[in-house]
Structure 1
Amino acid sequence: MPGISSFLSRSINTHQIYGANTNVGKTIISTILTRAAALNYPQEQTWYLKPISTGEAKDADDSHVKRYTGDLPNVTPKCLWQYSDPVSPHLVAGPTPPSDHSVLSQVSNYLNMAASSGPGSFFLETAGGIHSPTLNRVPQADFYRPLRLPTILVADPHLGGISTSIAAHEGLHIRGYDTDAVFVFRDNYYRNHEYLQSHFASLSKPIPTIVLPGPPPRQEDSAEDQKALAAYYEVVSGSKLIKRTLEMLKETHEMRREALETLAQRAQDRIWWPFAQHSELLDPGKITTIDSAHGDFFSTLSPSASAPSANLLQQTHDASASWWTQGLGHANPQLTLAAAHAAGRYGHVMFANAIHEPALRLADSLLQTLRNPRFQRVFYSDNGSTGVEVALKMGMRAARVRYAWTDKKDVEVLGMDGNYHGDTMGAMDCSESNIFNESVEWHKGRGYWFKPPTVILRKGVWEVRQPSGEVETFEGLEGVMDVEKRVGGKMYEMYCRRVKGELEKVIIGDGRRFGAMIVEPIILGAGGMVFVDPLYQRALVDTVRSSTNLFSIGSPKSAGDFTPTGDSNAWTGLPIIFDEVFTGLYRLGQPTPSSFLGSNTHPDIGIYAKLLTGGLLPLSATCASKSIFEAFLSGKKEDALLHGHSYTAHAVGCEVACTSLEVMNSGDEEGVWNAHKEDWNTHTTTATTTQNAAAPWSVWSKSWVYDISSHPNVDGVIALGSVLAITLKTSEAGYASSAAQTMLARMREERWEELEGGNVMARPLGNVVYFMAGQKTPVDVLRGVQGVIAKVL
């Protein structure tokens, strides 16, 4: 189900008319505006659309508009779905109503058809109030949100109408709609119009409130009733007030269009973009202008929208999940409302010696989701990189306390070649020299980096390639990932010997000291989407944990003091840190990728961000074991973990994260991903994984992934969970390679029928092109993206 882009055309001024409630006069306002636009702009076409209508056809809203604009040749009223029963749409839709996507597609097509007819005005009237259900029981404000049309709100003049009108506006506002005007009928008894005028004028972005005389009372004689109503429309639609209002709406439309079209140009003088060489961004056309986002798509300024009739906006698939943050889709109403609720309840409150309910609830939910028996404590920080800084302080302190180091000798970390943990100073020092840090003046890689064997699918065969070049092949991914079965083999023993030998060399031979080990489990993200042999990471963890005799060299304590007693989950050897900012929380199909490493290979410290809040806003959680926490306990303040941020455990982020985890966990429990799992298990060619192993699967079609792995332009592919990475054949590999640019430029610059005319925005990692789905990306979107990838390759 590809996305629907927002709509903004040079040629037609478009507004969607919402009501604060039923029976507030939406159709009357629609008729007034339709008639007035046709009268004031006789050379232009005026369109009225009621997508879904219930009730007898003769009483339908489009029939009403046609009756009172029929004398004007430049008016086109239309209804797409007409149901005879005068009840809510969800009650008349029947067992197989048209899908939401098909309804929105027809609305979008009709808008584009109208725009192609030349200049004019377009009014789309909704049904009932903003939360009245549509055919598939979706509230209208959520249903129409992909189009994000500028809105006109018809307020309620009746008793209680002040409340419903303000609530309706706020409901639209927090969903990202722009309200250009509020209409309300004058009622001299309740006088709602007086209060609403004042209220909407006082907003930070004032909204004009248009007060109109109410329609004439309904008369028993049908002919007389229509005559009175026709006279009313004649007077009101021809008034100077309505003419000025139409001019204001057109001016607002033009300002919105101009602001969007000049946004990139204006930004070039102000913005310093991340990960960008600005000498390559002198052309504003290389900057993607995003008007809004919904689901898996941006609505972006179309570079080809030069024709007056064209929609200025196009749907652009967010193929990198906005730097790996999106899991539940852009503008997810559940997350939006969670954020609004917490903002209204708390705003932000300090977390020093304090607690609020969302922070505690999130800690409980996160620990339960991860199911790591070692984790007992949760420390909150701002983002993944700062979460790593916290983890390093935890691990280093725990090692220093246990081994009683008192000298000033440098303490380093163990890590993996290709790891990337963030751009703050400590996180940066946890990586070897690479393109991200080698030009940074203060960088000093403070560690030893193991070179891991890697996994890749080449020509339909899964390979485990050693740094030396040796290759072991597997018929299926499940064979690679069955760590419990592979632990008993020669490869595991070889890995353990290799790790042990390297440790002895750097500790005994070189005299270096280490305080923690930090790894990205399974996939090294920014390092090039490198899929590490899980058996190697299992051997790495096992060997480090069993090497207390090495790490304690130089300690004044006796050997017996290094073995914790009474806590089976206490760390041994070194504290093990898993940086799961990228790979955690269902990114790879499991709540935590540590489950792929086999029984009880749980980290002592773990870092979680990005998908933690579904990508809505930054928040990080660093989880730690009891034995890590106790290293900071003493009678001295300076022994505490003196680390914090002004926005530590901000309530808005915690509330959103609680909702995000709830949605993802329910998806796992309710079998939302079962079809993907069956796809990867149905075609299994080797024995199934052992009972204790986490079975691997991907949202990307298995047969398609295997086909792509044999493409002549492809060196290899990995697919796991929502991650897909394609390594292109090139003579220049690595992050500095430009091999992927041509492919990605074509995906961005062309419109693809596989995505209903949308384009694709992806990011390269050198000669690796990666695509990141969300945890709720519809299958139709995934298959559409696959079609585009295959065509471009």
Structure 2
Amino acid sequence: MSELSGGLWRNLIAIQIYGANTGVGKTVASTLLGAHFANRKKSTKYNIHYIKPVSTGPNSDRDDNYVKLYARQPTVSTLFQFDDPVSPHVAARRFGHVPTDGAVLARLNAELDKIAHATPKQQGFKDITFVETAGGVLSPGPSGTPQADIYRPLRLPVVLIGDHRLGGIASTISAAESLLMRGYDIDAVVCFNDDSTFENAQYLQQYFDKLGVGAFQLPWIPKLEGVSREEETHKMKQYYDTNSRQEGASLLGDRIINRHMDRLKNMSTMASRTQSAVWHPFTQHKHIEKADDILVFDSAYGDFFQAKHTAKSDGSLLYPAFDGSASWWTQGLGHGNPQLSLAAAYAAGRYGHVMFAGATHEPALTLAERLLKDIGNPRLTKVFYTDNGSTALEVGIKMGLRAACKRYDWDGSQENIGVLGLKGSYHGDTIGAMDASEPCVYNKKVDWYRGRGYWFDFPTVKMTQGRWVVEPPAGMENDFGSAQSFDSLDEVFDFQSRTSRQKYEQYITSVLDDLVGTQGRKFGTLLMEPIILGAGGMLFVDPLFQRTLVDVVRKYTFSPTSSPIPEDQATWTGLPVVFDEVFTGLYRLGRYTAASFLDVHPDITCNAKLLTGGLLPLSVTVASSSIFEAFWGDEKSDALLHGHSYTAHAIGCHVANTSLSEMDNLHRGAEWRAYKEAWGREAGVERDGRVNSGSEREAASWSMWSKDTVTELSNHARVEGVIALGSVLAVTLKDLAGSGYTSTAALSLRDDLLSGGDEDIRIHSRVLGNVLYLMASMTSKRDDLRAIEKVLLRKLDEVS
């Protein structure tokens, strides 16, 4: 994907010819269109090109030779030719060399790019290229991948050739739906009219006209049974010469040109129209000086955006950019994932949306049962559905506060009940969730913000100079102890061997004694993002501190009326513990739950973002029975009166089930095992209750980003520290003017990564003050990540 230039050019019209099936006339349509554009009586003249990416069968039957014979000598080429006249995946295997999907795609892209850059350009001429596929839309390519998926990253506009034979109506509609589901634009459907009794062409034209897809009837080739080769050639030349000039071909040609021009116009105006009509999130619009500052995406696939170039050139208007924020932390299974698209389509067709209050449906029930099982927390028994991370936390805060107030006989409507949390934490943009964070750039200018709570300082973890370091906040060495250095991240998570626990307990207890005992303040919940605070600047909290904080809070007496600690281990004590795993959960850090790093079972946990693999908004707040019972009562007002019109929407729930299944497969697969082994060191070390007898152990804490690169970054002169865990890589840059969200130290690096260079992968990233972070998806390819690491290191050197 990183080698693709994009599928839209100013002076080149590239059309992909797909067929509803094999034998439907793709080559006839390609030839007819080639002949039409060669004969076209318009002001613009066209250089005609034909590309067959994959062909099977003997050389004597090659489609490119046929097109060259009858389409008035266009430039033709076949990229991969296999002699056996069978499906490409069989022919390639028999040939003894199976080109990868990436190789096929890169070769096609190079051919198109060569045509676009061909010099000299003749005045008044444009290039038009027809890329003809093999078989039907979902016929396998050489690797066995359906060809609609192989070619999808280029997303060339499609002319679909319908099937004029018996059963062809159904196969044509199915083919069109398969293309649309994958995000292709169908410029036209060609329905050959063979004068049969089936009347497919008439039906298909009416069907697609109603959908707004241009449908065109064209005459089928003449009957050739029993004629000589010479007579066949004569008849076919006559067929193409006559019908390429007829109205049907002319209207189809106009449709192709007009769609191309409309797309160019739309792309050229999207930024300015957006500047006029859209209010962007997290954006100071005064700083957007010109429309070109707005990034325009045409599409996305896998880990890459297809973004619009701002500079004019003969090359593609689009370039691929690695989605370095994993689309703001939601991307799990790659953009344009056909499995998720199919899941969404299925649930949309089965349910649409159905209300959820007092009702149920299979996707929501299946997801709830699955989460309760897979989270592995014996405390959790109930799943509450919301629509995004902030509202999931809003609900979690409501749950925790109610439970505490009910047990301690507090009146939260009259008394000031706060939350306990961590400095730098942020839990979302709804007003209640904002109040659960200390004042910061996100909330302090919000007029209703009050900041109800206390937020602890904490030691942080980072790699610097090749070592993992746990260091206290500046000036707090007496409270937390001096900085400690470790050989590996696994040692940081080895709580039994750590010596800081007693210091942490003393500090936390002394703070609570002052807050509760001396000041008389009341708190209703402990709210934390486990391991990494995302929006606060990718702060890696010492996990031992978080573990100790939970332990102390659960044993602490927050009210003189506190009941004795129950023997039931599933009942909350001290305060309800709420974990915000919206960012850190569901394998983002390499494990299903971030809580598992702490060996802690929260009373409430919140998930979103990766829940649906990055496709749809959906969130859950999962709670224990003792939290649920706090809303049990005779009056409706005792219930948790919270909900959304789209609560537990069936499409999101079904996509989530599909996504979690796929991520579970990845978790167990060879690709992730290789990542873990690359971060491990010794054989035979116990992991998750099992002993690995392989040559290398699988690290308990690991990253998709290479250990060598992370170490090299940590030794760089411009870098203050690095963290790498699961899919997350965060680089904190040195800034003499100060750190934090208002720092601008990372902005120039961010811009350099996006501008790229002649040989560079472009990287779209976001910064948090002096922190530049990159995030992989769960399906990122190692080769792409290694290439991105090289660009990052080189760009750091260039701006040093």
TM-score bracket for the superposition, by shorter chain length: over 0.9
Residues 191 and 205 in structure 2, CA contact (< 8 A), matched pair in contact too:
no
Partner of 2:746: 740
Residue 44 of structure 1 corresponds to: 46
Asked if the contact 2:333/2:613 (under 8 Å) is kept, the reply is yes
The residue number in structure 1 matching 2:171 is: 164
Q: What does residue 596 of structure 1 align with?
A: 597
Q: 2:583 matched to which residue of 1?
A: 582
Instruction: Give the corresponding residue for 1:297.
Output: 304
Could you tell me which residue of structure 2 aligns to residue 474 of structure 1?
486
**Which amino acid is 1:379 matched to?**
F
- Residues of 2 paired with 1:612 and 1:238: CA distance? 54
**Structure 2 segments unaligned to the other structure (5+ residues):** 691-697
Give the aligned residue type for 2:395.
V
Q: Secondary structure at the match of 1:298?
A: strand
CA distance in 2, matches of 1:93, 1:464: 54
Displacement of 1:219: 2.6
Alignment of 1:198-277 (within 5 A): 198-203=206-211, 206-220=212-226, 221-277=228-284
Does residue 1:761 correspond to 2:764, yes or no? Answer: yes
TM-score normalised by L of structure 1: 0.95
Shift of 1:484: 3.7
Structure 1 runs of 4+ aligned residues shifted over 6 Å read 686-694
Classify the secondary structure of the residue corresponding to 2:793: helix
- C-alpha contact (below 8 Å) 2:334/2:777 kept by paired residues: yes
Give the whole-Å Cα distance in 1 for the aligned partners of 2:389 and 2:699.
25
Q: Which amino acid aligns with 1:32?
A: L
Q: CA–CA distance in 2 between the matches of 1:428 and 1:580?
A: 16
The C-alpha deviation readout for 1:406-456, integer Å capped at 9, x for no partner, is 472211110000100000001000100001011111111100101011011
Question: Who is 2:757 aligned against?
Answer: 751
CA contact (8 A) 2:676 2:699 kept: no
8 Å contact kept, 2:309–2:318: yes
Matches within 5 A, 1:598-613: 598=599, 601-613=600-612
Structure 1 position 596, deviation (Å)? 1.0
8 Å CA contact 1:46–1:121 kept in 2: the answer is: yes
C-alpha change, 1:345 and 1:317, in structure 2 (3 Å) is same
The structure-2 alpha-carbon separation of the partners of 1:96 and 1:678, relative to structure 1 and needing over 3 Å to count, comes to: farther
Q: Which residue of 2 aligns with 1:352?
A: 357
Shift of 1:752: 5.4
Q: Distance in 2 between matches of 1:66 and 1:515?
A: 78
- Per the alignment, in what secondary structure is the counterpart of residue 427 of structure 1? helix
Match of 1:623 in 2: 622
* Paired residues of 1:17 and 1:123 also in contact (CA < 8 A): yes
Q: Secondary structure at the match of 1:415?
A: strand
User: Which residue in the other structure is 1:493 paired with?
Assistant: 502
Contact 1:366-1:661 at 8 Å conserved across structures: no
Offset at 1:404?
Answer: 2.2
For structure 1, which segment, 509-518 or 208-217, has the greater mean C-alpha deviation from structure 2 after superposition? 208-217
Q: Which residue of 2 aligns with 1:25?
A: 25
Whole-angstrom distance in 1 between the partners of 2:27 and 2:84:
18
2-side partners of 1:63 and 1:54: how far apart?
13
Question: 1:563: Cα distance to partner?
Answer: 3.1
TM-score where L is the length of structure 2: 0.94
The yes-or-no answer on 1:121 pairing with 2:123 is no
Q: Which moved more, 1:216-225 or 1:229-238?
A: 216-225
Q: Which moved more, 1:22-31 or 1:94-103?
A: 94-103
Query: Equivalent of 1:541, from 524, 544, 550?
Result: 550
Contact 1:545 1:573 in 2 (8 A): yes
1:86 aligns to 2:85 (yes or no): yes
Matched to 1:588, the amino acid is L
Partner of residue 452, structure 1? 458
1:585–1:712 CA distance, 2 compared to 1 (3 A)? same
> What secondary structure sits across from 2:395 in the alignment?
helix
Q: Deviations over 1:455-478 (max 9, x none)?
A: 111111111111225311112211
**Which residue identity is paired with 1:423?**
D
Aligned to 2:523: 514
- Judge conservation of contact 1:507–1:513 (CA < 8 Å) in 2: yes
Partner of 1:792: 795
Shift of 1:267: 0.8
Q: d(CA) in 2 for partners of 1:237 and 1:44?
A: 14
Q: Which residue of 2 aligns with 1:59?
A: 61
2:430 aligns with one of 424, 428, 438: 424
The CA distance in 2 between the partners of 1:3 and 1:654, in whole Å, is: 35
Verify the 8 A CA contact 2:101 2:150 in the aligned structure 1.
Answer: yes
SS at match of 1:211: strand
Counterpart CA distance in 1 for 2:68 and 2:670 is 49
CA–CA distance in structure 2, aligned partners of residues 429 and 5 of structure 1: 46
Q: What is the CA deviation profile of residues 292-347 of structure 1, one whole-angstrom value per residue up to 9, with x for unaligned ones?
A: 0000000000123x12x210000011101011010111011111111111111111
* Aligned pairs (5 A) from 1:322-721: 322-406=327-411, 408-467=414-473, 468-469=476-477, 470-486=482-498, 489=499, 491-547=500-556, 550-553=557-560, 555=561, 559=562, 561-565=563-567, 567-598=568-599, 601-682=600-681, 695-721=700-726
Alignment identity in percent?
48
- SS of alignment partner, residue 785 of structure 1: helix
Amino acid at match of 1:36: H
Query: How far apart are the structure 2 equivalents of 1:444 and 1:367?
Result: 34
Which is further off, 144-153 or 364-373?
364-373
Contact 1:219 1:225 in 2 (8 A): no
- In structure 2, the partner of 1:7 is 7
- Letter of the 2:346 partner, please give it: H
Question: How many residue pairs get matched?
Answer: 769
Q: Which runs of 5+ in 1 are unaligned?
A: none
**CA–CA distance in 2 between the matches of 1:56 and 1:474?**
64
Name the stretch that deviates more: 359-368 or 613-622: 359-368
Cα distance in 1 for partners of 2:521, 2:758 equals 55
Q: Is the 8 A contact 1:576 1:604 kept in 2?
A: yes
* Residue aligning to 1:16: 16
Amino acid at match of 2:641: L
Q: CA deviation at 1:171?
A: 1.0
Q: CA deviation at 1:39?
A: 2.1
- Which amino acid counterpart does residue 150 of structure 1 have in structure 2? P
Does residue 776 in structure 1 map to residue 785 in structure 2?
no
Per-residue Cα deviation, 1:476-517 (whole angstroms, up to 9, x for no partner): 21111112433xx3x101111111111111001111111110
Q: Find 2:324's aligned residue among 319, 324, 344.
A: 319
CA contact (8 A) 1:479 1:689 kept: no
| Secondary structure in structure 2 of the residue aligned to 1:485 | coil
Q: Distance in 2 between matches of 1:705 and 1:774?
A: 18
Deviation of the 1:691 alpha carbon: 6.2
Could you report, residue by residue, the CA deviation over 1:580-636 in whole angstroms, capped at 9, with x for unpaired residues?
0000000111101111113xx111100000000111111001111111111111222
Alignment root-mean-square deviation, CA: 1.8
Query: How much has 1:34 moved relative to structure 2?
Result: 1.1
The structural deviation recorded for 1:754 is: 4.3
Higher relative CO (CA 8 A, sep ≥ 6), structure 1 or 2?
1
Q: Verify the 8 A CA contact 2:486 2:492 in the aligned structure 1.
A: yes
Partners in 2 of 1:752 and 1:429 — Cα distance?
47
Which moved further from structure 2: 770-779 or 37-46? 37-46
3-state secondary structure, aligned to 1:129: coil
Is the Cα contact below 8 Å between 1:369 and 1:665 reproduced in 2?
no
Question: For 1:274, what is the secondary structure of its paired residue?
Answer: coil
Measured after TM superposition, the shift of residue 57 of structure 1 is: 1.0
Q: Is the 8 A contact 2:217 2:248 kept in 1?
A: no
Partners of 1:691 and 1:29 in 2: CA distance: 61
Q: State the match for 2:693 in structure 1.
A: none
